[in-house]
Structure 1
Amino acid sequence: MPTTALAGMLTGLALIVAIGAQNAFVMRQGLRREHVAQVVLICIAADATLILLGTAGVGVVVSSHPGLVQGVTWLGAAYLVGYGLLALRRAAAPGRLSVGAAPASRGSVVLTTLALTFLNPHVYLDTVLMLGSIANGFGDQRWAFAGGAVVGSIVWFTGLGLGARALAGPLGHPRTWRVVDGVIGVMMIALAVRLTTA
């Protein structure tokens, strides 16, 4: 069983470590030291829930409704474009980019985290379909695999949020924030294009 759990953890990490919209947002909040715990907990809870649903067999239902996946794809792409444009706007307004800039409200950060998580069709493909299918291939040990994948999410999001938070001081210069927001803006829009053309 420990080997199965380790396989789950490594597989989960392999799927979530790539920097996407959600990871970029977690990193940004960590750098800003702004509502980091809430963002990390939401990401972990969402991943855990979706992994467990996939292991329970919900992936079969999702894959049999391609219209649902397509709808989420277009909603997610629209949100990514909007968020990307806001990030580019922040990058173009250096006076608002310092660490001392007015913090976003907890509510807006929570809503953004939820949107970047649940409006991203890749989260369903990676957790419900991919990890769920792989977990079910382990038969009686599928829950050990799922548990390992959940541990992978806990390790990744905690490390990303707190690791970025530790770098907030060295990266606290306004010019750095312009670069960070510029890169995030371009990445979000590129992801939206990729989602709708894949």
Structure 2
Amino acid sequence: MLTIVPGFLMGLSLIVAIGAQNVLVLRQGIRRELVGLVVLVCAASDALLILAGVAGLGRLVEAAPWLVDGARWGGAAFLLVYAALAARRALDPAATGLVAEPGDGPGEREGSVLVRQRVAPVLATTLALTWLNPHVYLDTVFLLGSVASTHGEDRWWFALGAMIGSVVWFSALGFGARHLGRWLRSERAWRVLDGAIALTMVAIAVMLLRG
């Protein structure tokens, strides 16, 4: 427990900050669309990255900085595309099928939208926002892996704590977001949300491009 708890707290500290991945989980949670899939992919990806970091992949990232640079440029490009799509939804929500039934709002319950997202696009977006994010390799792989190494033989318990923190966070964010549905009963509310998502994605992309 003395090793799992620090791992749990550090895992949370690295993923709680609002980022592209968290914004996607939040949006899917509010819409109640494929939440379980998104949470599973994010938590499983984090687990793989944490295990890779503890196993020593951080040394490879340190020795080959071009890997991080490639992820930085690729991630920034993807974020800008995602921001453009969010901006389009904000300007014309009807174009994406966000049409509410009378007395209901998008995200209030499963049957409230006329056009639902398919599994493939959501899965691809989740994977891209996770694996094209250079901070994943710098924080989760290199930083967390380095800290875990200080625990010697107990480093795998540290990794377990970090993975538990990831599961707890993404589950709380995704499945807890549905309670925000009551405030999103109108198309205007969704336009504001998508507008905020677009601005967040652009801001993160700019920070990535600036290094």
Regarding TM over 0.5, the answer is yes
**Cα distance in structure 2, aligned partners of 1:78 and 1:183:** 18
Match of 1:105 in 2: 118
Tell me the residue number matched to 1:35: 34
Give the TM-score normalised by structure 1. Answer: 0.96
Q: Which deviates more, 168-177 or 36-45?
A: 168-177
CA distance, structure 2, for counterparts of residue 70 and residue 102 of structure 1: 38
Distance 2:67 2:137 in 1: 11
More deviation, 172-181/95-104: 95-104
How many Å separate the matches in 1 of 2:28 and 2:176?
11
1:174 to 167, 187, 192: 187
Matches of 1:23 and 1:49, distance apart in 2: 18
Give the Å deviation of 1:63.
Answer: 1.3
Partners of 1:83 and 1:94 lie apart in 2 by 15
CA distance in 1, matches of 2:66, 2:114: 42
Give the structure 1 partner of residue 6 of structure 2: 7
Q: Secondary structure at the match of 1:97?
A: coil
Count of residues in Structure 1 that have an aligned counterpart in Structure 2: 197
1:86-140 alpha-carbon deviations (Å, 9 max, x no partner): 0011000143434225121111000000000001111111111111111011112
Q: How far apart, in 2, do the equivalents of 1:130 and 1:105 lie?
A: 35
Q: Which runs of 5+ in 2 are unaligned?
A: 100-105, 107-112
Distance 2:52 2:42 in 1: 15
Which residues in structure 2 correspond to 1:2-151 (within 5 Å)?
Answer: 2-95=1-94, 96-98=97-99, 99=106, 100-151=113-164
Show structure 1 runs of 4+ deviating over 6 A.
Answer: none
Match of 2:103 in 1: none
Residue identity in the other structure for 1:97: L
Larger Rg: 2
CA contact (8 A) 1:90 1:181 kept: yes
> Percent identity of the aligned residues?
54
After superposing the two structures, state which structure 1 stretch, 167-176 or 50-59, moved more.
167-176
1:172 partner SS: coil
Question: Are 2:183 and 2:189, in contact at CA under 8 Å, matched by a contact in 1?
Answer: no
User: Does the aligned pair in 2 maintain the 1:48–1:150 contact within 8 Å?
Assistant: yes
The amino acid that maps onto 1:163 is G
One-letter amino acid of the structure 2 residue matched with residue 112 of structure 1:
T
Hey, what's the Cα distance between the residues in 1 that align with 2:125 and 2:180? Answer: 22
Pairing partner for 1:160 from 151, 173, 193: 173
TM-score by length of 2: 0.90
How far apart, in 1, do the equivalents of 2:93 and 2:13 lie?
Answer: 35
